[in-house]
Amino acid sequence: MKIILTLVLISKFYKLDKKYLPIVNRRNPHPLKNCLDNFKKSWGDLDKLSKINENWKNLIGLELSQECKPLNIEKKILTIAVNHPQWRQALIYNKHKLKERIEEIGITLNEIKIIQNYEIKNKNIKDTNAKIVWAAHPSRIHQNNMCICTLCKSPTPEGEIKRWGKCSLCWRKINN
């Protein structure tokens, strides 16, 4: 029982998934050797995944490595998460080449599974860019001084006068 508690503590420290821990059955306990062998086998998959992560840019290329990542290896099946359907399609067509490259680094796989995965960090970058663009927009009053439009004589942000020579309402009337 102390060994299982030790394994649980180790798994929490290293943030391991529970599937790598032995199943505790109090009525029919497994011999310690079997528990340790199962635990050792689970570390083998983590080692393989770590080796793939280390060589990821070399395996699939710099551009594609930024759009996808290996998630896990289970029963010799590598699962890869991809950010966009276009990249997923490219990986599906070339997964036999990827499998060959992975075998060159000493890892044998039965299959490669490719799943769609939209990462939040990409959305945050787009949101931040939109906020920056909106904050610098010439129609923003709080950042820009007010001027008088030369055509309609109404107050307008200085940025609009600099950009179009008139307020946005006059610009729309003329251009539409």
Same domain, 97 and 18: yes
Q: What percent of the chain has pLDDT over 70?
A: 67
Q: Which residues contact 114 (CB under 8 A, 6 or more apart)?
A: 68, 79, 80, 82, 88, 91, 92, 95
Nearest to 99 by CA among 80, 71, 74: 80
The pair of structure tokens assigned to 111 is 């299959």
pLDDT of residue 128 exceeding 60: no
* Number of residues written out for the chain: 176
Position 145 confidence tier, pLDDT thresholds 50, 70, 90: confident
Q: Between these two residues, 139 and 126, which has the higher pLDDT value?
A: 139
Residue type, 88: R
Same domain, 35 and 115: yes
Same domain, 168 and 93: no
* Long-range CB contacts (within 8 A, 24+) of 104-107: 105/51, 105/52, 105/55, 105/59, 106/51, 107/48, 107/51, 107/52
Same domain, 142 and 115: no
Reported as a single tens digit per residue, the pLDDT across 16-75 is: 555 555 555 556 667 778 777 777 776 777 788 889 999 999 998 888 888 889 988 888
Asked if residue 53 belongs to a domain, the reply is yes
Q: Give residue 120's pLDDT.
A: 47
Q: Give residue 122's pLDDT.
A: 52
Q: Which residues contact 32 (CB under 8 A, 6 or more apart)?
A: 3
Same domain, 156 and 81: no
The domain in which residue 24 lies consists of 2-120
> Helix (H, G, I), strand (E, B), or coil: what is residue 152?
coil
Average of pLDDT values for 169-176? Answer: 82
Asked if residue 89 belongs to a domain, the reply is yes
Q: Give residue 100's pLDDT.
A: 93
Asked if residue 128 belongs to a domain, the reply is no
In this structure, is the dihedral angle defined by the CA atoms of residues 84, 66, 74 and 102, taken in order, positive or negative? positive
Reported as a single tens digit per residue, the pLDDT across 87-108 is: 888 888 888 999 999 999 999 9
Asked if residue 74 belongs to a domain, the reply is yes
Helix, strand, coil percentages in the chain from 3-state DSSP, rounded to 5 = 55, 15, 30
Same domain, 14 and 68: yes
Q: What percent of the chain has pLDDT over 90?
A: 14
Same domain, 86 and 8: yes
User: What's the CATH code of the domain at 36?
Assistant: 3.30.300.180
Asked if residue 17 belongs to a domain, the reply is yes
